[in-house]
Structure 1
C-alpha cells in the first residue's frame, strides 16, 4: 500500500477483526475491575474481622468512586454523610 492511501488512526483488515479487538478490550476492563473489586472486598472483610476501625473507612472511600461511576447517587450520598460524621 502506498503511504498516502493508508487510513488515519486504528484500522483492521475486516469488520470481524475490529469486533474481536473491541470485545477483548471490554473483557479486559471488566476482568480488571472484577479483580480489583474482589481484592478490595477481601481487604475490607479482613479489617472488619480484625475490628480495625481506622482501616475500614479507607476501603469505603473506594466505594465512592464506584457509586459515582455507576450512578448510584443515593448510596454516594449515604457514604458522604457517613464520612462527614466520622471526620
Structure 2
C-alpha cells in the first residue's frame, strides 16, 4: 500500500497544514500509510507523527484536510 510523506520540514506547520493540536501540544503528521473504514463507515488513517516511533490509527476528522486530500489523490494515482 502506498504511503505519503506529508510533512515539509522546510515550512511552518501553519503554511502546510499538516499539524494537529491536542491540549496545547502540536503534532506534525510525518507519513500516512493506509486508509481504513470500520463497519459503521467511519474512516481512519494510519499515520506516523514527527518525533514519535509508534503508528497511530486516527479518525479522519482529527487530521488536516490537506493531508487527507494528498493521500487520497496518491491512492487514486492522480499525484
Q: TM-score, normalised by structure 1?
A: 0.24
Q: TM-score, normalised by structure 2?
A: 0.26
Query: Larger RCO: Structure 1 or Structure 2 (Cα < 8 Å, ≥ 6 residues apart)?
Result: 2
1 or 2, which has the higher strand percentage?
2
Larger radius of gyration: 1
1 or 2, which has the higher helix percentage?
1
